[in-house]
A and B are shown apart, each in its own frame.
Chain A
Amino acid sequence: MHLTDEERRILDGAFGEPQRIALSVLLKLGEAYGADRMLEITSAHVVGSSYQIAGEAGIEIYGQLVQQGARVKVRTTSDPGSIDFARWREFKTPADYAERQIKIAELLDRMGVIPTWTCTPYTTFNVPKFGEDLGWSESSAVVFANSVIGARTNRLAAYVDVCAALVGRVPRFGLHVPESRRGEVLFELDPDLSASFEDYFFPALGYLVGQVTADRIPVIVGVRQTTFDQLKAFGAAAAASGSVALYHMVGVTPEARTLEEALGGRLPAERISVGRREIARTMEQMSTGQGGAVDVVGVGCPHASIDQMRRYATLLRGKRVHTGVELWICTNTMVEEMARRMGYVEAIEQAGAKLMVGTCHNDCPLGAWGFRRLVTDSGKFAYYTPTTVGTDCIFASTEGCIEAAITGRVERR
């Protein structure tokens, strides 16, 4: 791999031990994947901010780095933590667990990480531009940055994202190379399907695309109009059920102005038609167990935007969450603050729903609640909940989720 003089000096330890260790990890990673050189990045986003992910090994690593004087070199934001820092007692988080998460927060602070505690850093504080190289990890954020913005990042692992942040570099391979960003699997939507796209089609379509695509690059044709939140939901589902890090939606995403551009002038390796039947079959797979009484409803995965907060507030105004049901809306402190000013938080809380800020159902220890059945409008939650929360999970539309919280019951579609 070609290294600059500065990079050689980093490896010689001229800029301290943290940078030396960080670059040596990135160098070996680059060598394993045929990188020709390092690229300078404009930002990093780190996923090992959560105690659930980092554990004691993470505390040891961050502790070592901080002791050696580590500071991030580029703008770096944190993924959600494993507690709501303001309300962890309300969410029945064990105190010793919260204490370990707070320890991680302190260590990240000392390295200069911006404490956004969100999986949607691209909405505020860490907004990349088209064509920029990044060192990001959180899978739903990686897929958004690559696909919707047209920035370039591989799916970095926890701690490798910190290595990238410490030296402001990543090895040039994979999605940093323009020729490796061409679409490989073509999904063609039936015209009657795309004519009447509902919100809940997007996580379901993403889930289906992820299952089929695995780690290849999908191209979707036939989506005419989408919102920011629909693309966010689609990508998060595809990144969870597969490991999709980049998708092209023809006429929607920036590297897919035409089908030819999305495919890089080549033929797709596989072509798949998607109609109502395929969506219905996928939605069936996204739920586990039977319908019935609901314990907990989870929306805001990825973290809810201000538009979504308005929607929840509208749906909940004048209503009441059923006794014995928990409706938790996951978001970050930035959106929370704005939603509070706009009166949405009041409407949500008056209905008996709770905001869960800086974390989510899948990142928090929920054992003390004894939940059995979770309802969600998120494809990512639907994928992970049976293992992370350990409950059955029913996938529903956003309206269906709010309805389930109010009536205390849900049916499988």
Chain B
Amino acid sequence: MSSPRIIFRGNGCAPGDFEGEAVVSSRPFGFWQGIDPQTGIVIDKRHDLCGTSLRNKVFVFPFGRGSTGTPGIFLEAVRNGCAPGAIVNVKSEPMIVMCALLAEAFFKVQIPIVDGLEATPQDVLRTGDRVRVNGSTGVVEMLGPAC
């Protein structure tokens, strides 16, 4: 059975090219007090992803919310190899974009971020889908559905 390959176009907010498994939530997310930077696991008890690992995942959620201290936690996760591999948002708040740009500048790790797709990402992507995100071209490809 040939798997469908669907291409979505949006805006590249932070550069990089990453392919991995999607983790999808329809709720906003804050990294500050939202993840354990030692493991990449969501620790925000009020969030539907609590207990899920974001490590090397394509993290799909509507938008970020958060304190100006967000890079503290985010970069700690990057340093430990436990950050998401890519991010797809409806609208990326500058705080998240700044985290990715800092990761590239100081830890040589690119975490592509794309927003503004023609479709709502959390509706067209499912947790477990194989997804490729290019933060330079703004292209998000669904390579294969969750098994």
Q: Residues of A with Cβ closer than 8 Å to B?
A: 21, 24-25, 28-29, 32-33, 47-48, 50, 52-58, 60-61, 64, 137-139, 142, 154-161, 174, 214-215, 243, 387-388
Interchain CA distance A161-B68 in the complex, whole Å: 10
- Asked if A29 and B101 sit within 8 Å, CB to CB, the answer is yes
- Asked if B105 and A155 sit within 8 Å, CB to CB, the answer is no
Segment from B49-57, B73-81, B117-125, B126-134 that makes contact with A: B73-81
Given A21-B105, A154-B94: A32 and B13 interface contact (C-beta under 8 Å): yes
Interchain CA distance A412-B14 in the complex, whole Å: 46
- Asked if A56 and B15 sit within 8 Å, CB to CB, the answer is no
Interchain CA distance A155-B99 in the complex, whole Å: 13
Looking at the assembled complex, report how far the CB atom of B67 sits from the nearest CB atom of chain A, in whole angstroms.
Answer: 7
The 7 closest A-B pairs by CB, nearest first: A53-B69, A157-B98, A57-B75, A53-B72, A137-B68, A32-B13, A57-B76
Interchain CA distance A118-B76 in the complex, whole Å: 24
Within 8 A of A (CB), among B77-133: 78-79, 92-95, 97-99, 101-102, 105-107
B65 at the interface (CB under 8 A from A): yes
- Asked if A48 and B93 sit within 8 Å, CB to CB, the answer is no
Given A57-B78, A64-B106: A29 and B94 interface contact (C-beta under 8 Å): yes
Q: What residues on B are CB-neighbors of A21 within 8 Å? A: 105-106
Mostly, the A contact residues are: helix
Interchain CA distance A159-B102 in the complex, whole Å: 8
17 further interface pairs, Cβ-Cβ under 8 Å (given A24-B105, A155-B68): A25-B101, A32-B11, A32-B92, A33-B97, A48-B72, A55-B37, A57-B107, A156-B98, A157-B68, A157-B94, A157-B102, A159-B71, A160-B101, A160-B102, A174-B94, A215-B93, A243-B65
CB-nearest residue of chain B to A162: B102
Most buried by A among B11, B66, B99, B102: B102
Interchain CA distance A64-B73 in the complex, whole Å: 18
CB-nearest residue of chain B to A139: B68
Most buried by A among B15, B68, B76, B92: B68
Q: What residues on B are CB-neighbors of A33 within 8 Å? A: 94, 97
B70 at the interface (CB under 8 A from A): yes
Interchain CA distance A299-B7 in the complex, whole Å: 53
B39 at the interface (CB under 8 A from A): no
Given A48-B69, A157-B102: A61 and B75 interface contact (C-beta under 8 Å): yes
Interchain CA distance A28-B106 in the complex, whole Å: 14
Given A25-B102, A32-B97, A157-B102: A57 and B79 interface contact (C-beta under 8 Å): yes
- Asked if A157 and B70 sit within 8 Å, CB to CB, the answer is yes
CB-nearest residue of chain A to B32: A53
Looking at the assembled complex, report how far the CB atom of A238 sits from the nearest CB atom of chain B, in whole angstroms.
Answer: 14
The 21 sampled A-B contact pairs (Cβ below 8 Å) are A25-B98, A29-B101, A32-B13, A33-B94, A47-B68, A47-B69, A52-B69, A52-B72, A53-B72, A55-B72, A57-B78, A139-B67, A155-B95, A156-B68, A159-B75, A159-B98, A159-B102, A159-B106, A160-B71, A160-B102, A388-B33
- Asked if B101 and A57 sit within 8 Å, CB to CB, the answer is no
Q: What residues on B are CB-neighbors of A24 within 8 Å? A: 105
Q: What residues on B are CB-neighbors of A52 within 8 Å? A: 69, 72
8 Å CB contact of A25 from B68, B69, B105: B105
8 Å CB contact of B68 from A56, A158, A215: A158
Given A156-B68, A158-B69, A160-B71: A60 and B101 interface contact (C-beta under 8 Å): no
- Asked if A387 and B33 sit within 8 Å, CB to CB, the answer is yes
- Asked if B72 and A28 sit within 8 Å, CB to CB, the answer is no
Looking at the assembled complex, report how far the CB atom of B94 sits from the nearest CB atom of chain A, in whole angstroms.
Answer: 6
Looking at the assembled complex, report how far the CB atom of B59 sits from the nearest CB atom of chain A, in whole angstroms.
Answer: 18
Looking at the assembled complex, report how far the CB atom of A10 sits from the nearest CB atom of chain B, in whole angstroms.
Answer: 14
Interchain CA distance A58-B73 in the complex, whole Å: 10
Interchain CA distance A215-B101 in the complex, whole Å: 21
Q: What residues on A are CB-neighbors of B78 within 8 Å? A: 57
Most buried by A among B12, B14, B98, B99: B98
Looking at the assembled complex, report how far the CB atom of B30 sits from the nearest CB atom of chain A, in whole angstroms.
Answer: 10
Interchain CA distance A157-B68 in the complex, whole Å: 5
Interchain CA distance A28-B13 in the complex, whole Å: 8
- Asked if A158 and B79 sit within 8 Å, CB to CB, the answer is no
Most buried by A among B37, B67, B97: B67
